[in-house]
Structures are given as structure tokens and as C-alpha cells.
Chain A
Amino acid sequence: MKALRKYVDKIKPHFEKGGKFEAFHSTFEAFETFLFVPDKVTTSGSHIRDPLDMKRTMIVVVVALVPAMLFGMWNIGYQHFLALGEQVSLGQAFWFGFLKMLPIIVVSYGVGLGLEFLFAQLRGHEVNEGFLVTGFLIPLIVPVDIPLWMLALAVAFAVIIGKEVFGGTGMNIFNPALTARAFLFFAYPAWMSGDQVWVAGLKHGLQAVDGFSGATPLAEAAAGKIDQLPSVWHMFLGTIPGSIGETSVLAILIGAFILIYTGIGSWKIMLSAFTGGLVMGLILNLFAANPYMEIPAWEQLFMGGFAFGMVFMATDPVTSSQTETGKWIYGFLVGIMAILIRVLNPAYPEGVMLAILLMNVFAPLIDHYVVEANIKRRLKRAKVSVQ
């Protein structure tokens, strides 16, 4: 480690202003801060620099995502061999999933980081670390058989239109990973919905054994086959078809624990989002106009991408509400909308993606009014003290 530090220090002057490779300063800095915690200290005043910079923050999120990813890999293999009707060992299933998933991750990171570096060089800002998380989220929220060129296109769309045009990480209005997914969903619906896409191979003509449908629980519920839903225990463990990382509530809860314990993810948003989902579920239970609405409210929380979206996407510190009161409102509305769209809108089997995007639109407005209310309250107090 020390030798590396020395080497980095040695080549550093070349990248400073006036050095040989001045043009590649942002690239160099990206790698330096990736390897080491920045050693900047304040020179005057009483400012404190927290070594927990953006890179460290993002890495924690990536770590929190690892359980969901590992489970997703195994589940790819498990579902595939289940469809074939073969019995395989845990290792075989995992290896199959690993090979399926690796190209998706490579494409996601390759395209995204490539564009990110390109923009950093062209526009002369630092390489933003935000893509570390986005690039990791995208593979987890797409179906396993997604063609790689579509994925590359979606990642490019998300990075350029969703983020870079706003000025890069921290400036975007919409969650880039969800922008990528929405792009795929509306541009290539045949690859993003239906019963064929969620299990590796089905779309390419793999003949499934009798009794294997490959439909996600949400699709079954929307089709009215409530009695064919997998048990809650299966949905909790995640041995069901679905987007790669979204199926296992257990793995997501581990991630949520990491996020909350380290203080990176907002527990307020998570809590209020789950409450919102539960409340909406209960309201629907009350009406119970069709079998879908009669599904117990708490069961809704285990289905589809609800847990994944609420833990990893709704808590995005950039696109969610910034104010503390706003976070409660924002999370609650996300939860409500997600269940509402899922159950009441026949056009979409799942509502989490669009619910979060919709609330991303209104998050600045929520913040605006929370701040306004605060100003008003304080003005009132000021008047009293004047008298």
C-alpha cells in the first residue's frame, strides 16, 4: 500500500496544472481518490473536513447491494434449472447465474463509466462517483435476458439525458437507474414485461417443463390467479421469477440494515414508504372490489420490486426530498403511489418504478413548501420577540 501511495505521489505532479498530462487531471484524480481517502486539510478557519467523501458513501451503498446481487445470481440459475426441470447443486446454479450476469454488469459499468469519464474530460469537472451506484443498480433491476445493446442504450440515455445534461452527479432530478429502466420499459416493452423474460432462456426458445409459468407473482395477481401466488415465505426469500436483484426481501433487508446502520440511507424515507404502502394496501382491502385488492396489505410489500425500490431507489439522496419533514411526506407518497399504480393500473404490472419517478418530479415542490412553512413559522416567532 505504501509503495502505491509513493508511486501516486510521484506521478501526481504530471497531472497538476502545468504538468505533462494536465488534460487528464480529472481521470487521475478519480483514480487517486478511489484508492485513497483524500488528504485535503483546511488551511484557515474552523472548517472540518469529513473524510467520508462521496466515493466512500457510494461504496457503502454498493456494499449494501451485494447481498441482493449474490442472491440474484443464484436465483437466475435456480429459476433456469427449475424451468428445465433439472436438479443442480447450489454452486452450479450460482455459476450459471454469475456467467449470465457478468456481461450485464460489465456493459452497465463500461458504457456508464466511459461516458462519465468522457464528460468529465470534456467539461473539465471531476469524475463523479455517482455512477458507481447507478451502474450497480441497473443490472439488478432489469430482466436477465435483456439484450446487451438495449442495456447499453438505456445506460447511455440515463447517464446523458438523466444526469449529465443537468450537470452531473448531485444535480439530477430523476434517479438515473430508474430513468434507464423507464427508457427500456417504454422503448422495448417486449423485453421488459410478460411471462417470458424473467427466467434465463425462456425468451430464446427454451422449453419449460409443464407447470412452470415463469410469470412474476405480480403478473399472476394482475391476471386474477390469486390462488397461484407463491407463499409469502417464498417471496420473502426470493425464490421467485423477477428482475435480477429485486426478488429477495431478505437480502434487501440486509442491505437496508447496512444503509441505516451507517447512516447513508434515510430511515425516514424507508419507514414512511413502507407505511404508505401498507396504508394504501389497507384502503384497497377495505374496498376489495376484485381479488387483487383483497390480497392482504402486508403481503403486497413482499411482492415485486417494492422492497428494493423503497430501500435503494427512493432513498437516493439526490432525487428525494432534502428536508427532513419533506422526507416523511415524500416516502409516504411513494409508498401509496406504488401500490396504487400496481393494483389499479392494468397497463403496468408493477408501479414502483413510476411511483418513484413521479415523486422525484414533486420532491423539489415538497421541499419548497417545507422551507416556506419554516420561514413563515420563524417570522411569526420573530414578530413576537420584537414586541
Chain B
Amino acid sequence: MAHLFDIFIKSIFIDNMVFAYFLGMCSFLAVSKTVKTSVGLGVAVIFVMTITVPVDYLLENYLLKAGALSWLGPQFADLNLDFLSFIIFIAVIASMVQLVEMIIEKYSPTLYTSLGIFLPLIAVNCAILGGSLFMQERDYQTVWEATSFGLGSGIGWFLAIVGMAAIREKIRYSNVPKPLKGLGITFIVTGLMGIAFMSFMGIKL
């Protein structure tokens, strides 16, 4: 149990998707204009990651990995479908995103319109695919580890985008030099936030 909690905390703060790996930047930069929409997108990302990472974990271990198919019979034991992992992971993510899209469209049309193109684009949000690939690379032992990793990474991304949105709301009326208005200053803020998040780097759990 403590071990799961460690993975959870680690993926939120220490291995933060945005500030440690700079993944998922496109939607992070584009949708962080107001806190409200970014909370919506952040929750969507948490949801998608919490589902896709364990599902991909199961696929990885019972379908894709070298020898994963041995449960079908001894003749499949040396089969390695690893080369399919990208396409299968993406397919899982895309179908999850489809589902989220339908739910949001049904229950919160305003959020749906304000997220616009970035909602379907979660499917190619590198943080989410990155989550599944990190799961593969780090060799988590149980599906629960994968779940807590997915949930933690989602929450880490959520924290980053919501914090960014609050800062952008605050500096909206600042007298930012013209060439830096908009994305320029956002990049600078991201870098400075990255420095602040370095406070966690090096903690061993």
C-alpha cells in the first residue's frame, strides 16, 4: 500500500509530466487561458490517463510483451508483438477520448465549446501516450501500480495546467512587452515554473 502511495506522489510531483518531462505542452500552452476551462481539460486528462494506463498495462502484459501470449498455449510462448504497442496504445487512448468527448458534450456544452479542438486532440496529447510508454518502460509489477501511476501523472498534469491558468489570468492585464504577449510570456512562465518544481527533484521514495 505504501508502495502504491509512493508511486502516486512520485508521479505527481517528482516526475511531473509537464515540468520534469515537458510532455503535453501543446494543450498545456493553448488551453491554459482561464482556470475554468483548464480545470475541465485537466479533469478530462486525469480521467483518460487513469483508464488508459491500466488498460494498456493489461494489453502489454497479456498480449504484446515477449511471451505474454503464453496463457493461450505453449506454442505462443515465443511470440513478441511489441512492435504493435504504439498503435494499440493510441487506439485505446483514442477510444477513451471519444468517450470523454461524448460525455462532456452531453453534460457541459459550454465546456465542450470552450475546449474546442483540444478535446479530441487529447488523443494525441503526448502526456497521455507518454504515460503508457513510461508504464511500459518502467516495468510496473501490478495493475494497481499502473493505475496509481496513471492517476498521479494525470493529477500532476492537472496541477500544472491549473496553476498556469491562474498565473495567466493574473498577468492578463500586465504590461507585457509587445513581442512577448501571449505565447512568449507563457513559455517564460513555464520555464520559471519548471525551476520552482525542481524543488522535488532528487527526493527518493
Contact = CB atoms under 8 A, between A and B. Distances in A.
B198 interface: yes
A185 to B, nearest CB: 9
B192 A171 contact: no
Contact of B171 (A166, A182, A360): A166
Interface in B176-205: 176-177, 180, 185, 188-189, 192-193, 195-204
B133 interface: no
Count chain B CB atoms within 10 A of each CB in A173, A355, A367 and give the residue with the most: A173
A357 interface: yes
Contact of A357 (B35, B180, B189, B195): B195
B199 A345 contact: yes
Given A125-B175, A344-B203, A351-B199, A162 B192 contact: yes
B175 A367 contact: no
Contacts of A68: none
Contacts of A166: 171, 174, 176, 185
Given A173-B189, A367-B166, A165 B198 contact: no
A357 B192 CA distance: 9
A174 interface: yes
A107 interface: no
Interface residues of B, number: 28
7 contacts: A162-B192, A166-B171, A166-B185, A341-B200, A346-B202, A364-B170, A365-B163
A171 B199 contact: no
Interface string A177-216: 0010010001000000000000000000000000000000
Contacts, number: 91
Nearest to A362: B163
Interface in A337-360: 337, 341, 344-348, 351, 354-355, 357-358, 360
A358 B201 contact: no
Contacts of B197: 358, 361
Interface residues of A, number: 34
A361 B191 CA distance: 11
B26 interface: no
Nearest to B180: A165
A165 B188 contact: yes
Contacts of B185: 165-166
Interface string A109-138: 000000000000001010000000000000
B91 to A, nearest CB: 35
B199 A337 contact: yes
Contact of A165 (B162, B176, B202): B176
Nearest to A166: B174
A281 to B, nearest CB: 18
A347 to B, nearest CB: 3
Contact of A167 (B167, B176, B195, B204): B176
Interface in A140-165: 161-162, 164-165
Count chain A CB atoms within 10 A of each CB in B169, B188, B200, B204 and give the residue with the most: B200
A166 B188 CA distance: 10
Contacts of A355: 199
A347 B201 contact: yes
Contacts of B199: 337, 341, 345, 348, 351, 354-355, 357-358
Contacts of B176: 165-167, 171
A365 B204 contact: no
Nearest to B205: A344
Given A165-B176, A341-B199, A364-B169, 12 more contacts: A123-B177, A173-B192, A174-B192, A179-B195, A345-B202, A345-B203, A354-B199, A361-B163, A361-B196, A364-B166, A364-B170, A367-B170
Given A165-B176, A368-B166, A348 B202 contact: yes
A72 interface: no
B202 A173 contact: no
Contact of B200 (A165, A345, A346): A345
